[in-house]
Amino acid sequence: MKIILVSRDALLLGLLLAQLPAIAILLSRLLRGPGRYPPLLPKAPTPEQLGTVSIVVPTLNEAERLTPCLVGLSRQSYEVREILVVDSHSSDSTPALVKAAQQADPRFRLMNDDPLPSDWVGRPWALHHGFLSSAEKSDWVLGIDADTQPQPGLVASLLATALDEGYDLISLAPQFLLKYPGELLLHPALLMTLVYRFGPAGETENRPERVMANGQCFFCRRSQLVQIGGYTVARRSFCDDVTLVRAIAAQGGRVAFLDGANVLKVRMYEGAAETWREWGRSLDLKDAASPSQIWGDWLLLLAVQGLPIPIVLLLLSHVLGGTATLTTLAAFSLNLLLVLIRIGLNFAIAPSCDRTQSNSAWLFWLSPLADPIAVLRIFLSSIQTPKQWRGRNYGVRSGE
């Protein structure tokens, strides 16, 4: 029995020594939260902003979720010169929906991108095509995904913020529309992996290799895209948004990842299975990071997000039964603190998760229980290369 206790204490001591620096890193990021840039609010454009923005929407068989995006874009004001929908030869009614929108709003223009080159991923290829086809008189280009629901005043708010703060690029963290029980548990846990690694949205002090972005709403100064060659730097990336923003930041561009919950909603995936499969496989960000960063971040997640709840549950009986050693009590207390921090952060991200369309909204508050699964998903994504994305098969890409 004494040997077992010594062995357990040795394991727990090793765990504590690994967790303490990880906790210090986590707290250094979270404590910057109160000073972050405030959430964007809807704004109205000013006359000098007339026609300064071109919008590019890449589509491929998006008929089931495209309409709210088209409606939201049509409600943007005169700062939007054109809305280019770059369709990758959809086989559903996506083109018909865009043509119908064009009848009501002539700013919409439907086009097809060229056949996908072997060294490109579909999404950055469509965005690159739209950028090259957009009006040179537009000072800004907004790439926006088909699953988004832009709110009135979105583009004007982006434009005003960029001009007031001197940003060359802004991307937004949206408000996620959650419906089904599984995604109410899994989605917040996956979202938290980003908060733990990069801090909250609105944090603007990260180094170029640590900046975050969200390609669902990617607002960039045209001159920056021209300077970097459009989307070519991200042509082979399955996280093209982060790849591109880090390349622009590395060249001196001023970039920001801000809270856009008030101006942008998104319905990403239907249910836990699709959330696990589609979102989970790009959250490792391996196409935009070095191996040391990928695995360093994963070890951080394991220490502060994946292990705390299992450890608390495993040690609870020893603590309650009075058989806990000093090392056991220290490990239990430290991991209980991490669990409490995670529960507190659930309150912090609650405004970013719209649960009004769900009959099981209460499950959101149990999402910390899915943290070990979320950390496992990041690990699996880190050791795998996507072979299929948005209906396209990629196989093994050259150079890998």
Place of tokens 């095509």: 129
Q: What confidence score (pLDDT) does residue 400 get?
A: 35
| Amino acid residing at 117 | P
Percent of the chain with pLDDT over 90: 84
Q: What confidence score (pLDDT) does residue 207 get?
A: 87
- Give backbone dihedrals phi and psi of 266, rounded to 5 degrees, phi first: -150, 140
Parse the chain into domains and list their residue ranges: 8-35+180-198+290-383, 47-174+214-268
Q: What confidence score (pLDDT) does residue 111 get?
A: 96
Place of tokens 């960063």: 293
CB-based contact 153:72 (threshold 8 Å): no
Q: What confidence score (pLDDT) does residue 398 get?
A: 38
Q: Which residues contact 161 (CB under 8 A, 6 or more apart)?
A: 40, 167, 170, 256, 258
Partners of 221 in beta bridges: 140
Q: What's the chain's average pLDDT?
A: 92
Q: Give the mean model confidence (pLDDT) for residues 35-52.
A: 95
Q: Give the mean model confidence (pLDDT) for residues 191-212.
A: 90
What does pTM read for this prediction? 0.92
Q: What confidence score (pLDDT) does residue 399 get?
A: 36
Crossing angle of helices 326-349 and 2-30, in 10° steps, is 30
Q: Is the pLDDT of residue 396 over 90?
A: no
Q: What confidence score (pLDDT) does residue 394 get?
A: 67
The Cβ of residue 114 has, within 10 Å, a number of other Cβ atoms equal to: 9
The beta-carbon contacts of 344-349 under 8 Å, at least 24 apart in sequence, are: 345/30, 345/192, 345/195, 346/188, 348/33, 348/200, 349/188, 349/191, 349/192, 349/195
CA dist., res. 8 & res. 325, Å (int)? 10
Q: Is the pLDDT of residue 391 over 80?
A: no
DSSP H or E segment with residue 169: strand 169-173
Q: Give 142-172 pLDDT, tens digit per residue.
A: 999 999 999 999 999 999 999 999 999 999 9
- Domain formed by 47-174+214-268, architecture: Alpha-Beta Complex (3.90)
What does R_g of the chain's alpha carbons equal in angstroms?
22
- Give backbone dihedrals phi and psi of 213, rounded to 5 degrees, phi first: -155, 160
CA distances, 334 to each of 65, 288, 367 (Å): 44, 33, 20
What are the DSSP calls for 308-326, one per residue? HHHHHHHHHHHHHHT---H
CA 368-369-373 angle, 5° bins: 100
CA 270-273-277 angle, 5° bins: 100
What are the DSSP calls for 358-373, one per residue? -S-GGGGGGGGGGHHH
- Min mean pLDDT across 109-118, 292-301, 321-330 is at 321-330
For residue 337, name the pLDDT band (cuts at 50, 70, 90).
very high
Parallel, antiparallel, or unpaired: how do β-strands 148-150 and 255-259 relate? unpaired
Q: Is the pLDDT of residue 9 over 90?
A: no
Q: What confidence score (pLDDT) does residue 395 get?
A: 59
